[in-house]
């Protein structure tokens, strides 16, 4: 009997999803077309409804965690009440997104300076203090919230809000950039434009210029400038500033600022198929209507594992790289395993097995799978004064399971039973016959560029 050496292989490439950063996500969505005292808009309600749909379908915000106020529902009192409600629900490891589509106004102060307001459905530009919402109120309420990150996306043009300049940390300027921006609080805002600018709407868009590009930036994932699967507020702001300025013929330019000096940053994640509340690692089934026929191929999702192995004749290490087939209930796996082995005569050596196998999951993206395949073996034994090489192949079957989460990864274990056929087996006591291996290691799942239209 041989002892299993305590070998652990840790890969440093992170596979971070929303759940690793946030416990829950909350949103307040406001859209007003039919104002009582100022001119109406055409697409603010549609903007709000499409943003709500994107948060649910793409980023898996829970329906119960989203408050939607449109037209007559969006009074000053109800907006402030819902904003207070959502920020009170959010806890220390949660995020809150506030989206407003409607009119903004700016009021001059007698001794200079200005105050910015958002107009509720019953707002009156002749009495802004009483009827409209001072943007400083949003800032005050957000400071009372325990939420880690709060982001305002304001599809309105106005001035007069005290803002803090962007931090000096450049995107990915340090190895721990993501950890740095997600562990601290943030209160951030992206607005459609400044004082004197107009929100541009066009029938051919069915949206305002701001929301049109907000949807393309997030839902279509165009704002991920460095293609790392993460969109920060800085990236989103840069994308909107460029696109909205062009689409509006320079009539409006979005502004991105911080409301506080906190070091954190609200982030959106692309690489996510798991749900938030049920702690199940993957959906039981991808909705195939959401996958374009052109990418229904094995390469659109990949995963793999690194593991340590106990073998009948010794111990070793190994690694798998998998590509999923069709809707995720099968995967083709390419693997390698390196063993330190002994034979019955106590000669020692190494064997490397390169294998190809099929993993057949119990259901799509379940934790339990069966596998079958074949491996090509290369043996190298030290025999007294020289080395002796041998070749073989091993058809095998087995099963595996993905267990408890360990830090940012999940543990995977599997057992394989095979029949090893070795060339020239009579020279040493390592004959053809039944073999078995048991392994445990770290499981990971990543996504290729082709999953960009898959649901987040």
Mean pLDDT confidence for 287-305: 46
Q: How far apart, in whole angstroms, are the C-alpha atoms of residue 30 and residue 78? A: 11
- Which pLDDT score is estimated for 210? 94
- What domain count does the chain have? 2
- The answer to whether position 12 is within a domain reads no
230, 440, 455 from 219: Cα distances, Å? 12, 37, 9
Q: Please say which residue of 269, 284, 311 terminates a domain.
A: 269
262 and 303, same domain (yes or no): no
Q: How far apart, in whole angstroms, are the C-alpha atoms of residue 443 and residue 320? A: 9
216 and 350, same domain (yes or no): no
- Which pLDDT score is estimated for 51? 95
238 and 355, same domain (yes or no): no
The share of the chain scoring above pLDDT 90, in percent, equals 30
When pLDDT is cut at 50, 70 and 90, the band that residue 386 belongs to is low
236 and 379, same domain (yes or no): no
Q: What is the pTM of this model?
A: 0.58
When pLDDT is cut at 50, 70 and 90, the band that residue 82 belongs to is very high
357 and 436, same domain (yes or no): yes
- Which pLDDT score is estimated for 17? 63
The share of the chain scoring above pLDDT 70, in percent, equals 73
Q: What is the pLDDT of residues 161-191, one digit of tens each?
A: 545 443 333 444 444 667 777 888 899 999 9
pLDDT at 455 over 60: no
When pLDDT is cut at 50, 70 and 90, the band that residue 408 belongs to is low
pLDDT at 44 over 80: yes
Q: Residues 379, 311: contact at Cβ < 8 Å?
A: no
CATH number where 239 lies: 3.40.50.1460
- The answer to whether position 150 is within a domain reads yes
- The answer to whether position 7 is within a domain reads no
Q: What is the pLDDT of residues 107-146, one digit of tens each?
A: 888 887 888 899 999 999 899 999 999 888 878 888 888 9
192 and 53, same domain (yes or no): yes
Higher pLDDT, 79 or 386: 79
250 and 137, same domain (yes or no): yes
Which domain does 197 fall in, by range?
18-269
Q: Please say which residue of 214, 248, 269 terminates a domain.
A: 269
Lowest mean pLDDT, pick from 15-24, 46-55, 103-112: 15-24
326 and 446, same domain (yes or no): yes
Higher pLDDT, 203 or 405: 203
Mean pLDDT computed over every residue of the chain: 77
333 and 241, same domain (yes or no): no
Mean pLDDT confidence for 428-439: 76
- Which pLDDT score is estimated for 147? 92
What angle, rounded to 10 degrees, do the helices at 76-89 and 135-144 form? 20
């Amino acid at each position: 009997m041989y002892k299993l050496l305590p070998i652990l292989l840790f890969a440093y490439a992170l596979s971070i999803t929303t759940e690793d950063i946030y416990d829950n996500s909350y949103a307040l969505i406001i859209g007003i077309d039919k104002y009582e005292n100022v001119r109406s808009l055409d697409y603010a309600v549609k903007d709000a409804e499409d943003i709500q749909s994107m948060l649910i379908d793409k980023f898996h915000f829970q329906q119960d965690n989203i408050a939607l106020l449109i037209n007559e529902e969006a009074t000053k009192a109800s907006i402030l009440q819902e904003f207070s409600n959502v920020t009170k629900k959010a806890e220390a490891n949660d995020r809150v997104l506030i989206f407003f589509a409607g009119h903004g106004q700016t009021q001059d102060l007698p001794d200079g300076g200005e105050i910015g307001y958002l107009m509720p459905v019953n707002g009156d530009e002749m009495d802004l203090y009483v009827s409209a919402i001072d943007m400083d109120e949003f800032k005050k309420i957000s400071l009372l919230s325990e939420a880690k990150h709060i982001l305002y996306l304001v599809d309105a043009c106005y001035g007069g809000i005290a803002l803090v300049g962007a931090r000096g940390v450049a995107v990915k300027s340090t190895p721990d950039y993501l950890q740095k921006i997600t562990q601290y609080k943030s209160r951030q805002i992206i607005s459609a434009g400044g004082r004197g600018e107009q929100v541009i709407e066009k029938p051919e868009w069915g949206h305002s210029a701001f929301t049109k590009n907000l949807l393309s930036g997030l839902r279509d994932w165009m704002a991920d400038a460095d293609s790392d699967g993460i969109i920060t507020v800085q990236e989103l702001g840069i994308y909107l500033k460029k696109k909205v300025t062009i689409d509006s013929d320079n009539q409006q330019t979005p502004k991105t600022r911080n409301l506080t000096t906190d070091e954190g940053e609200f982030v959106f994640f692309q690489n996510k198929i798991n749900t938030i509340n049920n702690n199940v690692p993957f959906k039981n089934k991808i909705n195939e209507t959401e996958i374009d026929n052109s990418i229904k191929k094995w390469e659109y999702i990949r995963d793999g594992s690194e593991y340590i192995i106990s073998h009948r004749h010794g111990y070793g290490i190994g690694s798998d790289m998998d590509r999923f087939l069709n809707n995720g209930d099968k995967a083709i796996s390419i693997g390698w395993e390196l063993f330190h082995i002994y034979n019955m005569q106590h000669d020692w050596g190494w064997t490397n097995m390169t294998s190809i196998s099929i993993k057949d999951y119990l259901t799509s993206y379940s934790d339990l799978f069966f596998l079958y395949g074949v491996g090509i073996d290369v043996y190298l034994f030290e025999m007294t004064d020289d080395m002796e090489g041998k070749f073989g192949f091993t058809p095998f079957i087995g099963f595996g399971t993905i267990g408890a989460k360990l830090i940012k990864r999940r543990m995977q274990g599997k057992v394989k039973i095979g029949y090893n056929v070795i060339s020239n087996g009579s020279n040493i006591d390592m004959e053809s016959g039944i073999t078995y291996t048991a392994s445990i290691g770290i499981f990971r799942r990543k996504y290729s560029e082709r999953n960009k239209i898959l649901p987040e």
